[in-house]
Amino acid sequence: MSWNAPQKVIFPRWVDPLVKLAGAGAVLGGAYVAMLVAYGASPKTLDVGYAPEQPVPYSHTLHVGQLGLDCRYCHTSVERGPHANVPPTATCMNCHTKVLTESPQLAPVRESAQTGKPIPWVRVHDLPDYVYFDHSAHVTRGIGCVSCHGRVDTMDIVQQVATLSMAWCIDCHRHPERHLRPPEEATNMTWAPPGGGSVEAREAFGRQFRLDHKINPPTDCSTCHR
């Protein structure tokens, strides 16, 4: 038997370019599918714009924008604890024992007040269980509500406007000067620094505020994953 005997050709030579073309197509197709899945499953795609229907049609445009209620009137714990509490029915009834007492839209509120059963509000901004976030640590250091929640005072239906992703949080921790303001202005949706509301003016104020108050947010993993 000769070791140099020609091997039997199974496929004709014209098949070779087709095989290479198919291989290149598979690689490009796989990359396209991966990019499509990554974008389709990203927080920007899945979470931004989330605006669930609530059991009571509460309008922040009316209560905050027109009537001027401070965020802390309902969300009383934002300055003292990690969670922004959902207001109890008693808070609603502070006004609605005298205002719109017969409104059919407020029937669930009146029923809750009578029975003691809480209103089943649907959470809009809901971080994963493995993420630790402390509202008080941010609010008391000068991060305004608007930085994370947007212009809630213009929302008839509250929706999520930021991704709340890890990259989004880390970017703010690395560059907090873009969002810093006096803590007493944290709930002021229209606050602007003395130099005006431009990006440059806000960053200039934030840089000085960060320097004066020694604000250096950590970026290590244990900050949020404990």
pLDDT at 73: 96
- Whether residues 71 and 168 share a domain: the answer is yes
Would you say residue 76 lies in a domain? yes
Total number of domains constituting the chain? 3
Question: Would you report the helix, strand and coil content of the chain in percent, each value rounded to 5?
Answer: 45, 0, 50
Low-confidence winner among 32-36, 57-61, 81-85, 200-204 (lowest mean pLDDT): 32-36
Q: Do 141 and 204 belong together in one domain?
A: yes
Question: pLDDT tens digits for 203-220?
Answer: 999 999 999 999 999 999
- The secondary structure of residue 162, as a DSSP letter, is S
Domain final residue, candidates 74, 104, 120: 120
Q: Which structural domain, as residue segments, surrounds residue 106?
A: 90-120
> For residue range 169-183, what is the model confidence (pLDDT) as tens digits?
999 999 999 999 999
79 and 113 together in one domain: no
Pair 195, 215 in one domain: yes
**Is the pLDDT reported for residue 59 higher than 70?**
yes
Do residues 107 and 216 share a domain? no
- For residue 134, being part of any structural domain is answered with yes
Same domain (yes/no): 144, 204: yes
Q: Return the percentage of the chain with pLDDT > 70, whole number.
A: 84
Local confidence band at 9 (pLDDT 50, 70, 90 cut-offs):
low
Could you tell me if 160 and 67 lie in one domain? yes
The answer to whether position 161 is within a domain reads: yes
* pLDDT of 36 strictly over 50: no
The pTM assigned to this predicted structure is 0.77
